[in-house]
Amino acid sequence: MLPSLPMWRASHWFIHLLITLAVASVQKPGDHGNAVHNIGAGPGAADLDLAAWSRLKNSDVGLAVSKLLTERGTWRPDPQPSMGADLMSGLTEGVPGSVVHNALSEGECRELIAGFPTEGNGYMPGERVAELYRDRQVKSRFLSHDEKLAEVLYQRLLDHLPQELDGGRLYRVNPNFRFIHYESGGHHSTHIDGREPQELKWDEAAGGWVQSRLTMQVYLNSHGKDFMGGEFAVVDAAENETHAAQVKHLVKPHAGDVVIFYQERLNPPSQYPPYELQHQGNDVTKGEKFACRTMVDYVFADEERARMSNVKDDVSQGTCTNTRPAQVLAIGNTIIDTMHTVLYIPVDGKVLVATKKTYVGGQGANAAQAMALLGLRVSWMTRLGDDADGDMARHAYQRLGMDLTPSIVVPGAMTSSATVIVATGANKQRSCLIYDDDALFAGGTAVSEALAATIQRVASGEFRAIYTDGFQMDLVLPVVRVAAEHAIPIVADVEVLNEQTRELAQLATVLVAPLSIVKTLASRDDPATAVLALADREGRTVIATDGERGAHGAQYGDKQAIHIPALNVDVRDTTGAGDSFHAGIVVAVTRGMRLKEAMTFATRVGAAKVETPGPSVTPEALERFGVLDVKCSQ
């Protein structure tokens, strides 16, 4: 086996799918007629199914409410004040529910209230609201599309949002907001929140099927000061009119508070009712209450997984919810790659560029992003400039749910970049021109502080494995030395040889390197003999990659090396294929796979990349090669 870690067991997902499909049926909003299943559809939805009702109530959308945020692109400057959070008690394990305080300042809340319109696109008076919803009384409602408000909330609340949920990864705060104005007598009766969109669609930008999993309720003024009543209450809903709902959790909101809670599956219905997060907005008894509501979206590699998954069902069925996958630390380069495809690469000549696209690449970045897509929780240590390229990289990593705490942003420096030229004709060549800003790699206090904090996390045992692409050795060596002292598996990609990378190669638990490097280190010409010679101590694994000829591997004590041939695939772009292979090896280490199984798995991950244009593999390619199966640690 690769370095010893707990084995993973297979999911009961397929059994769960069959059971749930057996009872699934198309529901209408009116089918939820009692308190337990109420989703609030009014007379205007009587003849509609859930999807049609969802489209109707969300069809007319207006502009952003916040004028200042729209014009300036920012509100209060960083660093943000402390945002405490209270968890909702009594929920099934894995079901998120919390109240985050101080997410918005009182001034920001006042600005949003001042922006409430009284007419125009997106505005709906209380009378029309009553036609669409039978369960609420409001003065008015306004639907707003606000990308900047969504980004502000995403950045501020990132630490309070699950990075993975129901097998999907955190994608964004949805930019479509519902602003609500209540006056005395206003309320929202007991109901549950559904997921949107009802009809799943593939999202090219997200690289998967996007659907909401959390509701985000933002309060813009304060209980006890601006209004009385109007509390947010989670309840045990009454089955009939003779039994009163029992309050499980009560929130008396303050301006800037955000309630975040899970959206349970409505269609097909959950196998294990009653729903846990039935909630209501109590009657406003005095004053006026202002709030807005949006959702938190997750992206899924598999459409059926997105449609069927549900935390409570999965727990009750014994199915893996994958809420705590292995956490790894990755260290390496970020390079913004601009890819040009051409028929051939000219020598002292010109050629027409067929396509041009920009990606977040770099050896380590490609591997780290693939690890995140494969389900690992990735803490990512890299250097970024404080330029537009650095912002692009950070947003890409955050969309994948990667922890950027160890990363270093260098003021005044430019993020590394590259121009990659890929020939698509008979001779499938590629060339890469890389620019590194010397200022990016200077030392300083920020580097020292990031290293000290990361080393402390390594020593605490937080990470199940360490990965490095063999670059930025001033960051790598201090970390892997501590990891070696604590017997934490180290997966190292070594592509150049010097004094520092030779030390890294020696420290590595799993050395993955091009065959030429392995031959040099071992002073052997035969691939099998070379990997066997370097697998020279207990727990040591050596893998030599050889492009289209596959890979050779051996572990300490092996009498014979393993050779895994490359797969016969439709070659679209080999850029980053080795990085994806390395990601597969890291996943294999965290799952305790045996060497042959690990190399086979990593080969499939690399093959998925070869069939993907650009430097990074995509979820659909990983799904096509069967490497996204849900696993659970025992």
Cis peptide before 117 (omega within 30 of 0): no
Three-class DSSP category at 596: helix
Tell me the pTM.
0.55
Topology, domain 29-316? Jelly Rolls (2.60.120)
Mean pLDDT of 217-245: 82
- pLDDT of residue 58 exceeding 80: no
Three-class DSSP category at 268: coil
Question: Which residues does 408 contact at the CB level (< 8 Å), separation at least 6?
Answer: 381, 382, 383, 384, 446, 447, 450
- pLDDT of residue 28 exceeding 80: no
- pLDDT of residue 323 exceeding 50: no
Give the mean pLDDT of the chain. 84
pLDDT for 146 equals: 93
The domain 327-332+363-411+439-508+567-628 having CATH identifier 3.40.1190.20: the answer here is: yes
Mean pLDDT of 224-249: 78
- Long-range contact set of residues 526-532: C-beta below 8 Å, sequence gap at least 24: 527/552, 527/561, 527/563, 528/552, 528/554, 528/560, 528/561, 528/563, 529/561, 531/561, 532/558, 532/560, 532/561
Q: pLDDT tens for residues 153-194?
A: 998 998 899 888 888 889 999 999 999 999 999 999 888 888
Question: Which residues does 150 contact at the CB level (< 8 Å), separation at least 6?
Answer: 172, 173, 174, 175, 177, 294
- pLDDT of residue 321 exceeding 90: no
Q: How confident is the model at residue 29 (pLDDT cuts 50, 70, 90)?
A: very low
Mean pLDDT of 310-338: 74
Which of the pair, 304 or 421, is modelled with greater confidence?
421
Mean pLDDT of 260-287: 86
pLDDT for 166 equals: 87
d(CA 480, CA 493): 13
Q: How confident is the model at residue 422 (pLDDT cuts 50, 70, 90)?
A: confident
Q: pLDDT tens for residues 342-364?
A: 999 998 999 999 999 999 999 99
Interior CA angle at 292 toward 233 and 41, to 5°?
70
Domain ranges (residues) in the chain: 29-316, 327-332+363-411+439-508+567-628
Mean pLDDT of 212-230: 97
What is the DSSP track for 35-61? TTT---B-GGGTT--HHHHHHHHTS--
pLDDT for 634 equals: 30
- pLDDT of residue 591 exceeding 70: yes
pLDDT for 44 equals: 62
Q: Which of 14-18, 263-267, 497-501, 608-612 has the lowest mean pLDDT?
A: 14-18
Q: Of the candidates 152, 172, 158, which has an alpha carbon nearest to the alpha carbon of residue 68?
A: 152
Q: How confident is the model at residue 314 (pLDDT cuts 50, 70, 90)?
A: low
Torsion region of 511: left, alpha or beta (phi above 0 gives left; psi -120 to 50 gives alpha): beta
Token look-up 């800037």 returns 256
Q: Which of 145-159, 226-240, 245-259, 589-603 has the lowest mean pLDDT?
A: 226-240
Q: How confident is the model at residue 411 (pLDDT cuts 50, 70, 90)?
A: very high
Percent of the chain predicted with pLDDT > 90: 53
Q: pLDDT tens for residues 473-499?
A: 999 999 999 999 999 999 999 999 999
Which of the pair, 303 or 488, is modelled with greater confidence?
488
Mean pLDDT of 208-227: 96
Q: How confident is the model at residue 571 (pLDDT cuts 50, 70, 90)?
A: confident
pLDDT for 218 equals: 98
- pLDDT of residue 204 exceeding 50: yes
Give, as one character, the DSSP assignment of residue 254: -
Q: How confident is the model at residue 40 (pLDDT cuts 50, 70, 90)?
A: low
Q: How confident is the model at residue 35 (pLDDT cuts 50, 70, 90)?
A: very low
Query: Phi, psi (5° rounding) for residue 99?
Result: -120, 120
- pLDDT of residue 442 exceeding 60: yes
Q: How confident is the model at residue 43 (pLDDT cuts 50, 70, 90)?
A: low
Query: Phi, psi (5° rounding) for residue 360?
Result: -90, 105
pLDDT for 169 equals: 87
Percent of the chain predicted with pLDDT > 70: 85
